Chains A and B, each alone.
Chain A
């Protein structure tokens, strides 16, 4: 009797959240899906059926091709850049140096600030002007005698998007560091001692003992970073404005929906974004829930 009452209560406790998610996530996704199959262009809704035409148009849209390529380049650089940098920082901080908490705070603080705030600064820092008007990092490089580092940043033809990963890594690598540092600290010291006794060097211990243990953290960090990079929007707009060379799906979606009133096309881009996120996330969710069940 007691247990049953608790069971009902437990369901009641999560019910509001479930309902909210059903409406605000799945309801709205359904709505987007419906719009993506409609002819809605212009300010007011028009749900006339268009079939898959909007999707077909996107697959033939040269701008969307650029978006896909840009997203791919950005995602690879951003995810791996953040992981490698975050891991390096975590390993360095794991050595028990004095001042660790100072460094930790410095590396973590970019997470606290939005691109509404730092976007302009990054735009200045990555100014590509040469010659007399040189500024930002370029002029710093010149003064430090590091001329070979001077480059065109995000205006590099064809590869500009790669440089947008720099501020993105700046923002998220501290978070990755925190995750890894947490992981490193939870590895029992006897394990390292045992390896040391076996004559392994510190480097070998990291590669053969510790890194494999950190694999679950790497995986979840990849998922979090990966979905951030698919949705990247503020950062690009703040640094580059709306230009096709640095276009990504989220920017195209915004521009085509709210500047051009192509609600049908915007919704199609949204659905395609969601599908690509799903491809990334669902196997991960299955994997982690299954491995949990095995425990």
Chain B
């Protein structure tokens, strides 16, 4: 190319740059312009797509209707069940630039991280003003509190211990829905013998942790399970040993390509008839419906064997930053998030049940109605994978122990690593 052409090229690039920087330079002026005395509230979440984002939009619509003077700034960061979002949030909080309100899984994920660092404000006054204590289950409140201070407003409830199954495969092989671990093993043995390649579908590593927490619950009674998280059940004791042995056996029924599948891919195997069972939270139901599958015909559900009568829950909730930049607007937002109207707008779209027990049943589908019944009557325990029972440090240590076990298959090392994790990051001494 001749020198002349090089010059032309460079000139074009430079002019383009000037034009764009010029636009860029003017832009802040329009932004800085005062917004007619409008207040704002910045809410940080990881709901960027699908039913979650639509549910949030529905809640924002109610907020805008009630508080037309407050601008709602919807700050969302996607990816990996909120891990990218939490990293961004961590850097913002360390830099002292807190959003007014942010999303977090109710329970130790919030308490162990943000309460411990004195970043969020107790919300008891909101609960009293709005009468939320009367409409939210009494078993839920201690799980989202510390020292009698309630730190978040839960907007929804998901159930973790759900066994999804393919009714056709079970019928064809004359298998009843298992209710105990032993029945489950027998069922999966029978399926394997009948030539079903994958009795139980599993996905990437976090879905294995999800499976593990339900097996822990299914292998001991709820009180012992709760004891794991306050230090009263020993991690190196016989209950955990039995649970890990069950887990080891269960893994033998799973698909060999598990690590390459997302939870969606794994759940889809059940409704497509490629697998008989899958253990996944009840957000899977929303996905099945999106795929055009019908409840009870294409998929059925039951508590994970051994966990009947227990509701292992997780909840998305919102907090208020200590010294929130727009405190009044933030209170307005949290009031909407905890209201019946707000929760009944959000949950049917998101595919979860309201944390309030007075939700309008008619808005919810067949599965969700059954979950509302169980939520009202079952013993409630918390999920590990989804932030209720263990703080984030502890959870990542368990995740590492699990990942090492999945590679090595060494259950003794796994159990001692779990015990060590509780000692370094949990309540164990």
Contact = CB atoms under 8 A, between A and B. Distances in A.
B224 interface: no
Contacts of B90: 43, 258, 261
Interface stretch (A148-156, A179-187, A188-196, A201-209): A148-156
Given A43-B94, A129-B257, A155-B256, A242 B205 contact: yes
A232 B260 CA distance: 19
B395 interface: yes
A129 to B, nearest CB: 5
A132 B113 contact: no
A260 B395 contact: yes
Interface residues of A, number: 42
The range of chain B's interface size is 35 or more
B403 A241 contact: no
A243 B274 contact: no
A127 interface: yes
A189 to B, nearest CB: 21
Contacts of B236: none
A127 B260 contact: yes
Contacts of A44: 94, 117-118
A63 B260 contact: no
Interface in A102-130: 123, 126-130
B83 A42 contact: no
A130 B256 contact: yes
A220 interface: no
A43 B119 contact: yes
B260 A261 contact: no
A244 interface: yes
Contacts of B274: 132-133
Given A42-B393, A244-B205, A154 B260 contact: yes
B407 A66 contact: yes
B259 A245 contact: yes
A62 interface: yes
Contact of A245 (B83, B86, B262, B403): B403
B374 interface: no
A123 B260 contact: yes
Contacts of B86: 258-259
B87 interface: yes
Nearest to A43: B117
Interface string B193-221: 00001000000111000000000000000
Nearest to A153: B260
A247 B256 contact: no
A131 B204 CA distance: 20
A62 B274 CA distance: 35
Q: Which 5 A-B pairs have the closest CB atoms?
A: A244-B403, A260-B396, A258-B87, A43-B117, A243-B205
23 contacts: A43-B93, A43-B94, A43-B116, A43-B117, A63-B400, A127-B257, A128-B256, A129-B260, A133-B269, A160-B259, A240-B260, A242-B205, A242-B206, A243-B204, A243-B205, A243-B259, A245-B406, A247-B403, A258-B83, A258-B90, A259-B83, A259-B87, A261-B393
